[in-house]
Amino acid sequence: MKTLTTYEFLRHFPRHSKAQVAVKKRGKVVGTWIPSDTALEPFNAAEHMARLKRDFKKPLPFTGAELLKAGKKR
């Protein structure tokens, strides 16, 4: 298993994405990368929008403007 810094791992991800990698930050291992054996199915936008319409029928109890105003008060 290779050992990379977080900077190297993030900047050169395509180069290291197919190998098992231990990711270090300041000398400590913060995580490991183990690539998946199975490929993800491609994103289907039409299916996603149909699921959103089906599951989220009620509007939110607040508006976007109210949300922004509340964020500025903090």
Nearest Cα neighbor of 29 from 10, 3, 9 is: 3
Nearest Cα neighbor of 23 from 53, 50, 46, 1 is: 1
| Segments of the chain with pLDDT less than 70 | 74
Nearest Cα neighbor of 16 from 27, 30, 3, 26 is: 3
Q: Left, alpha or beta for 21 (phi > 0: left; psi -120 to 50: alpha)?
A: beta
pLDDT the model gives residue 46: 94
pTM: 0.50
pLDDT the model gives residue 74: 59
